Copies of this chain bind each other. A is one copy, B any other.
């Protein structure tokens, strides 16, 4: 029995993470100023090299935790980038993930230490290597994902208003949605709990707060729901 494929080439493997967040200004991505050569000082996705003793998901989880301090982040692998010269230093295959976090929830000290900043997806700096391509693919995948999973669950605070949810979907899909149609579609999914509590900041009348009903949500996603907005 063999214990190695000794004749084969080995290469570096990395993960790069697109971290999406949402606030009242819209959909945002967390970027860092790269602190090592090459391209030191340029904006970049959060990344790290795969270690021998971890899976890609482990590596992505580690990178996400390292830059945000968060655990149990929703993330999804979406594509492996492998052009030979994509990293000018050394041949590296990079597997891209996107992650969804609650923007008010992460460790801002930590991100500050890393020189990380949030950028609106409509106003991003040029990124290193092929990271711009990763971002555009990641956004495309996120858009598709809205039709399959209630991604708002991950991006919003625990309690949120219908308006916030609406604006989140508008930001992700980059189009205006009809308020009444949106609400009835969301309600038809039957995954929200309406609280007896109002958010009084946004208006004089105050708007009801909602939470996701985790159990109903899980039951729904097992049955592959489809949501067309």
Q: Does A79 contact B (CB under 8 A)?
A: yes
Counting chain B CB atoms within 10 Å of each CB, which of A36, A50, A77 scores highest?
A: A50
Residue of B with least CB distance to A3: B89
B8 touches A11 (CB 8 A): no
16 A-B interface contacts by CB (under 8 A): A2-B38, A2-B89, A3-B89, A5-B49, A5-B92, A8-B49, A11-B11, A11-B52, A52-B91, A53-B84, A54-B84, A55-B83, A55-B84, A77-B80, A80-B80, A82-B95
Total A residues in contact with B, Cβ cutoff 8 Å:
35
Residues of B within 8 A of A1 (CB): 37-38, 89
Q: Does A183 contact B (CB under 8 A)?
A: no
Expressed in whole angstroms, the minimum distance between the Cβ of A142 and any Cβ of chain B is 16
Known: A55-B82, A55-B83. A9 touches B90 (CB 8 A): no
Which of B8, B49, B50, B92 makes the CB contact (< 8 A) with A93? B50
CA distance A156 to B106 in the complex (A): 51
Residue of B with least CB distance to A95: B80
- Copies of this chain, complex-wide, total 2
A51 touches B3 (CB 8 A): no
CA distance A120 to B53 in the complex (A): 37
Q: Does A10 contact B (CB under 8 A)?
A: yes
Q: How would residues 13 to 52 of chain A score, 1 for a CB under 8 Å from any chain B CB and 0 otherwise?
A: 1000000000000000000000011100000000001111
Interface on A for B, CB 8 Å cutoff?
Answer: 1-5, 8-13, 36-38, 49-57, 77, 79-80, 82-84, 89-93, 95
Known: A10-B10, A89-B5. A82 touches B53 (CB 8 A): no
Expressed in whole angstroms, the minimum distance between the Cβ of A77 and any Cβ of chain B is 6
A12 touches B8 (CB 8 A): yes
Expressed in whole angstroms, the minimum distance between the Cβ of A35 and any Cβ of chain B is 13
Expressed in whole angstroms, the minimum distance between the Cβ of A85 and any Cβ of chain B is 10
